[in-house]
Amino acid sequence: MTYPLLFPRGECSWNTGMEHVEERRTAKRTRVTQLQYYAYRLSQGNGFSILLNSGSRRHMQQNYQGAMAMVRKFGKPDLFLTFTCNPSWSEILNSMEGVQRPEDRSDIIVRVFNMKLKELLEDICKHGIFGTVLAYIYVIEFQKRGLPHAHILLTLDSESKIRTKDDIDKFVSAELPDPCTDLRLFQIVTKCMVHGPCGTININSPCMRDG
């Protein structure tokens, strides 16, 4: 008996001796069950095959080679920026329903983060807040609590490169803003950019949550 609709090319169907592929042979069960086989056969694909899986070694190697090609053409990066998602952004909090918390809606978090990242890149590349950008590379990572953050490398043209300490002072500040002249910036920095004591000294610190 054959089933041409399920097996149009005449291949064999499930049998009791069918084994898992090599990656699964370390499991306790080495043979494919009937349920597993037909669940695989009846699953619906998305209509295309992925040739370069995100997160795979080949994908990482491809991105690495692309980054090195940019360095060969434009030179070494000049600036390294980190952009971190803030779960207290109003766009995120206003989208919560009932007793929901930001960590319950990772879909909203990543969408808001992506929109703000695009705005940041537009300010950097189009509006030139650091000067003329020749090339940029960024990668998005996720912290252990699910919040995304982006690491960005910028390569500036010769006129915009940072060469002296005065150039550094234009873009980098390690001081608290003056609350008299810019109260809003002072509140943002003291709330989001100052890391208090943690560990055994202060086990109630926000960074100590879940260990």
DSSP 53: -
Write down the number of H helices and E strands in the chain: 6, 3
Q: Is the pTM of this model over 0.75?
A: no
pLDDT digits (tens, 9 = 90+) for 149-179: 999 999 999 999 989 988 888 888 888 889 9
- Dist CA 165 CA 168 (whole Å): 5
What letters, b where the CB count within 10 A reaches 16 and e where it falls short, cover 107-127?
ebbbebbeebbeebbeebbee
- Dist CA 157 CA 135 (whole Å): 9
- Which residue from 190, 207, 192 is spatially nearest to 88, judged by alpha carbons? 192
pLDDT digits (tens, 9 = 90+) for 7-42: 666 667 788 888 887 665 556 778 888 888 888 877
